Amino acid sequence: MRAAVLLRPGAIELQDLPIPEAPPGGLVVRVRTALTDGTDFKAFRRGHPRMPMPTPFGHEFSGDVAASDSSFAVGDAVMCVHTAPCGECYWCKRGQEELCETIMPTMILGAYAEYIQVPERIVKRNCYPKPPELSYVTAAFLEPLSCVVHSLDLLNCRPDDNVLIIGDGGFGLLHAMLLKRSGATVLLAGRREPRLKIARDLGIETINARSRNIGEEIRKRTRDRGADIVIECTGREEVWEAAPDLARRGGTVSFFGGLPPDAKALFTASRLHYDEIRLISPFHFTPAAVKRARDLLVEKKIDPLPLITETVPLAEIATVFERLKNGEGIKFAVTP
């Protein structure tokens, strides 16, 4: 089979690899759609602590069962994520399954390929039949949407909240779409006009941070208070550091965009303490979040297709990442 391998940052190679076999209790999926994603892009640009290279590549996908040692039958269309918690460790037992001891070491990568192996623990907890009326592209949004559902679980947003989202990538836009649905007042800040236009076409208010001052704008909108909630979706140190100053007294800052392993962020301690700024850092997702993300997609409560820039064959995978590096597009749908 053809499969993309990330040899080192900046170097993607298409290789001929053997088609995997179904592991005990697991599946092999013939990938129909794999989506590009910010994490993949980070790994491509600067490397990733959890992806020693060379590494198979890509983790948002949907497809058809090609081999099975599970209750799924060959030919079934499925949607799943690339991890599942063990259910037995300290964190799992405390309901923090996103932090499961073995969730990251057992994740599967390699969705930019014709076939991918799905182990039993994912099949049992985080794999669902894909209804025929749901496209493979929409179904492949299960993983990123699960991250955002989990992020909002930690946030406890109210419908009367004024929310500032910083970052106009796929995750910023998915946060904006879900929060708008919940009734919150959302302002999306970004620096790329084509992405902001997509948000505006979805009825989301935007501000271009290149030409306007986000702090002034948010104060104008909140009688000088600042945002009830600020969600950082850029994964940039300077934005992490600036975010608390955009929140109101008693507000919440959510750091959704992860930083490189050695990064540090500096905050004014008195502002955090005397203004009671709550800081949270949502990471990954629980099976319950995956289930709700699945429901949102299947029940068509959210339509993520406007985030797809273009559909491309697997042969163009290296070009696609170059295009992303040049600031082009949001998410590409790759069809192996």
- The nearer residue to Zn ion, 85 or 169, going by C-beta atoms, is 85
Q: Smallest distance from the beta carbon of 50 to Zn ion, in angstroms?
A: 16
Among 86, 259, 272, 312, binds Zn ion (CB under 5 A): 86
Q: Smallest distance from the beta carbon of 138 to Zn ion, in angstroms?
A: 30
User: Is 259 near Zn ion (CB under 5 A)?
Assistant: no
CA angle 34, 36, 42 (to 5 degrees): 140
Tokens of 287: 């099976």
Instruction: Look at the block and give the residue holding tokens 């208070």.
Output: 225
Distance CA 271, CA 280 (A): 16
Distance CA 138, CA 142 (A): 8
Among 5, 35, 66, 100, binds Zn ion (CB under 5 A): 100
- The nearer residue to Zn ion, 95 or 159, going by C-beta atoms, is 95
Looking at 23-31, 83-91, 281-289, 326-334, which segment touches Zn ion (CB under 5 A)? 83-91
Distance CA 331, CA 310 (A): 8
CB 32 within 8 A of CB 62: yes
User: Is 209 near Zn ion (CB under 5 A)?
Assistant: no
CA distance readout (Å), 23 to 26, 44, 51, 84, 123: 5, 29, 22, 15, 11
User: Is 318 near Zn ion (CB under 5 A)?
Assistant: no
Residue nearest to Zn ion (CB): 100
CB 285 within 8 A of CB 256: no
Distance CA 279, CA 316 (A): 40
User: Is 166 near Zn ion (CB under 5 A)?
Assistant: no
User: Is 172 near Zn ion (CB under 5 A)?
Assistant: no
Question: Going by C-beta distance under 8 Å and a sequence separation of 6 or more, which residues neighbour residue 25?
Answer: 69, 70, 119, 120, 123, 124
Q: Smallest distance from the beta carbon of 327 to Zn ion, in angstroms?
A: 38
Looking at 1-9, 84-92, 296-304, 309-317, which segment touches Zn ion (CB under 5 A)? 84-92
Q: Smallest distance from the beta carbon of 124 to Zn ion, in angstroms?
A: 13
User: Is 99 near Zn ion (CB under 5 A)?
Assistant: no
User: Is 92 near Zn ion (CB under 5 A)?
Assistant: yes
User: Is 84 near Zn ion (CB under 5 A)?
Assistant: no
User: Is 202 near Zn ion (CB under 5 A)?
Assistant: no
Q: Where are the alpha helices (DSSP H) in 287-330?
A: 287-298, 317-325
User: Is 251 near Zn ion (CB under 5 A)?
Assistant: no
User: Is 89 near Zn ion (CB under 5 A)?
Assistant: yes
- The nearer residue to Zn ion, 85 or 172, going by C-beta atoms, is 85
Q: Smallest distance from the beta carbon of 110 to Zn ion, in angstroms?
A: 23
CB 254 within 8 A of CB 157: no
Q: Smallest distance from the beta carbon of 282 to Zn ion, in angstroms?
A: 18
Among 56, 85, 167, 251, binds Zn ion (CB under 5 A): 85
Phi/psi at 83 (nearest 5 deg)? -140, 165
CA neighbor of 131 nearest in space, from 306, 336, 304, 295: 295
- The nearer residue to Zn ion, 287 or 304, going by C-beta atoms, is 287
Residues of this chain that bind Zn ion (CB under 5 A): 85-86, 89, 92, 100
